[in-house]
Chain A
Amino acid sequence: SQTIHQWPATLVQPVGSPLSLECTVEGTSNPNLYWYRQAAGRGLQLLFYSIGIDQISSEVPQNLSASRPQDRQFILSSKKLLLSDSGFYLCAWVTGRSARYTFGSGTRLTVV
């Protein structure tokens, strides 16, 4: 079956510290992968998307970066976190056959 794993579920990090959030999918190959951020009470903001290994597109300039070292692995990183990086981060994937987005369970990041 097709599943998506995202971790950690919650994270509290000090300002200036690095960040690494990981997302992996199982049961599919060559998915399109996405990172979204959701501020409290707000909508979904697309941060990055990837159509293949090492192919990353950024939607908005920011303090974050993304990488896709393997077909089913998508990583969100930062070298130095800002307070404004706090939010709920969601990974999602979609394949061409069904064109249906599937979201991970999310990571609640609080920068203090």
Chain B
Amino acid sequence: GENVEQHPSTLSVQEGDSAVIKCTYSDSASNYFPWYKQELGKGPQLIIDIRSNVGEKKDQRIAVTLNKTAKHFSLHITETQPEDSAVYFCAASRNTGNQFYFGTGTSLTVIP
């Protein structure tokens, strides 16, 4: 089955700096890679996703890059703000199977 690894497990950045979270996956058939943000006491919320036919996707301060050859994808948050502090999860799936495999999460703290 698929194995998704996520690094780092914790990340602290100064407000205004950039944050990068990286994930690797093992199943070359995975073709959908979402990122979720989980605030304390709440369920994870989808913030951005990318499919395997695209190398990069951007939505305001958030971007995701995908390297299919190396089987890794990354979340980039620019101009970080305190409200970006949360736990972020990456995931991988085969679109048809709908079975999602999650990374172990990154706790991001943005220091004002």
Contact = CB atoms under 8 A, between A and B. Distances in A.
B43 A108 contact: no
Given A43-B89, A43-B102, A103 B34 contact: no
A96 B44 contact: no
A61 to B, nearest CB: 17
Interface of A: 6, 32, 41-44, 49, 90, 92, 94, 96, 99-106, 108
A108 B41 CA distance: 8
A42 B36 CA distance: 15
Given A99-B32, A99-B98, A43 B104 contact: yes
Interface in B25-58: 32, 34, 36, 41-46, 49
Contacts, number: 46
Contacts of A101: 34, 36, 46, 91, 100
A96 B97 CA distance: 8
A101 B32 CA distance: 11
Contacts of B45: 103
A51 to B, nearest CB: 8
